[in-house]
Amino acid sequence: MTTRWTAVRVLRDRTAGRCLTAVVVSGFGTSTLWLASGVWVKDLTGSDGLAALCMLAMWAPTLAGPLLGTLADRHRRRPLLVALSLFMAVLLLTLCAVDGPGELWLLYAVLFVYGAAGTVHDAAESALVAGAVDRSLLGDFNGLRMTADEGMKLLAPLAGAGLYTAYGGPGVAVLDAASFLAAALVYLSLRVREERPAPAREGGRSATAEGVRHLWGDVWLRPLVLAGGVTMLCAGVSGALTYAVVEDLGHSPAYAGVLYAVQGAGSVTVGLLSGPALRRLGARRFAAYGISLLAVAVALRAVPYDPAAWACSAAVGVGLPAALIAVLTGVQQRTPGPLLGRVTATAGTLVHTPNVIGLAAGAVLVELLGHRAQLVALGVVLGVTAAVLLGQSPASADRTAARSASDASPA
């Protein structure tokens, strides 16, 4: 039984363990900068709007995911990851020059490049892992990565806040630069064999479209990715209602931190269990069950009762990551290596962009409609999404894919 435990299975694999180490190291630095950049701008300008632009600057490049992912397919992934990590380590050090409102353009520019490099980095890393790690370990790796990411969200902001208080924004930038340097060293230590990518037969736009066509043409993968996008849209709207839920419970806004901590604990748990669950259920059923749990949890957030709120937060923490882990694992398992960077980045855009749209929509709707009715409606939408995903069995999807192979192939 021990060999089936996620951490043991991944860490016993030398390549998987080192890739995970690089993710944890660079993710720690990213989480600290994510918090500190907004605080930094707020201190320099006193403007909430300008502080919010930091998040927009980091997120905006993901809209170009299909194009940026093409870069990950035109180069060997390990050298690309090393180069990106070293580039970001040097770029972040330029933030030491920011000491007043007049240099904010530099901070925004660095954050924008940070987001673009991160999109390429994630695509290249996913492709490297899919090619270097045993396929049976992909679910375990992705789950453990989710656990690490959630752990960083709990620990890194506290470290970032303390470092910012002691040394200001430049201190946080130096820490993030050091984390990228450490990640580059870890990637250098990997022993993987990669074939040099074949010369591009098509221009940039056609090459990007090839990845989109593959994703859309896979009748097994397409519903999974679309379900992930709908799930993240609903999660965004639900997240925007958090403070209304807290107020309905009769607590101060700070109580939201308690609910987020409980949610994080749920995410850590599902990350540890996702590998065995994916092997037993498959990606589509694992995602559908997670979305079903999320549907119930979101709807029951309308109940103004503390124990119910804690249980729902824990269930959200389990259900939402299950869908994300399933999407990434499904993409890795069903995409040819030469296309994996583009397809991963395209799937990332389709899944994560709706979350930002949902947050914006929820911020508007919470002022117009009661949060309880919205939560129940979101639960219904999520329930229908899970039912649709379960409606077509994997076997029938594969038969359909075989019949429509010519439609899925790039023209």
How many Å apart are CA 353 and CA 119, to the nearest integer? 13
Task: Supply the Cα-derived Rg of the chain in whole angstroms.
Answer: 21
How many Å apart are CA 293 and CA 372, to the nearest integer? 18
- The answer to whether 323 and 291 are in contact (CB under 8 A) is yes
Q: What is the DSSP letter of 303?
A: S
CB atoms within 10 A of CB 96: 14
Q: Quick one: tokens of 382?
A: 């999520």
How many Å apart are CA 404 and CA 385, to the nearest integer? 24
How many Å apart are CA 42 and CA 38, to the nearest integer? 6
Task: Give the C-alpha distances (Å, rounded to integers) separating 95 from 99, 100, 260.
Answer: 9, 11, 30
How many Å apart are CA 240 and CA 233, to the nearest integer? 11
Exposed / middle / buried, residue 344 (Cβ in 10 Å: 0-12, 13-18, 19+): buried
Give the pLDDT confidence score for residue 385 in this predicted structure: 95
Give the pLDDT confidence score for residue 107 in this predicted structure: 92
Q: Quick one: tokens of 39?
A: 């605080």
CA atoms within 13 A on the CB side of 342: 23
Give the pLDDT confidence score for residue 3 in this predicted structure: 40
Percentage of residues of the chain with pLDDT beyond 70: 87
pLDDT tens per residue across span 185-219:
988 888 777 667 655 555 556 667 777 888 888 88
- The answer to whether 225 and 343 are in contact (CB under 8 A) is no
pTM of the predicted protein model = 0.78
- The answer to whether 43 and 99 are in contact (CB under 8 A) is no
Give the pLDDT confidence score for residue 401 in this predicted structure: 41
Give the pLDDT confidence score for residue 395 in this predicted structure: 47
How many Å apart are CA 67 and CA 119, to the nearest integer? 10
DSSP letter string, 213-225: HHHHH-TTHHHHH
Residues of the chain with pLDDT under 70: 1-7, 48-49, 52, 153-154, 157-158, 194-195, 197-207, 254, 392-411
How many Å apart are CA 187 and CA 125, to the nearest integer? 10
Rounded to 5 degrees, φ, ψ at 55 are -65, -40
Q: Quick one: tokens of 133?
A: 């790690």
The mean predicted confidence, pLDDT, of the chain is 82
Task: Give the C-alpha distances (Å, rounded to integers) separating 123 from 305, 347, 377, 407.
Answer: 42, 10, 34, 25
- Mention every residue, 6+ apart, whose C-beta is less than 8 A from residue 94: 106, 110
Query: Reduced to 3 DSSP states, what percent helix, strand and coil does the chain have, rounded to the nearest 5?
Result: 85, 0, 15
How many residues are given for the chain?
A: 411
Exposed / middle / buried, residue 281 (Cβ in 10 Å: 0-12, 13-18, 19+): middle
Angle at 26 between CA 36 and CA 71, to 5 degrees: 110
How many Å apart are CA 10 and CA 222, to the nearest integer? 28
Give the pLDDT confidence score for residue 205 in this predicted structure: 63
* Span between the terminal Cα atoms of the chain, in Å: 48
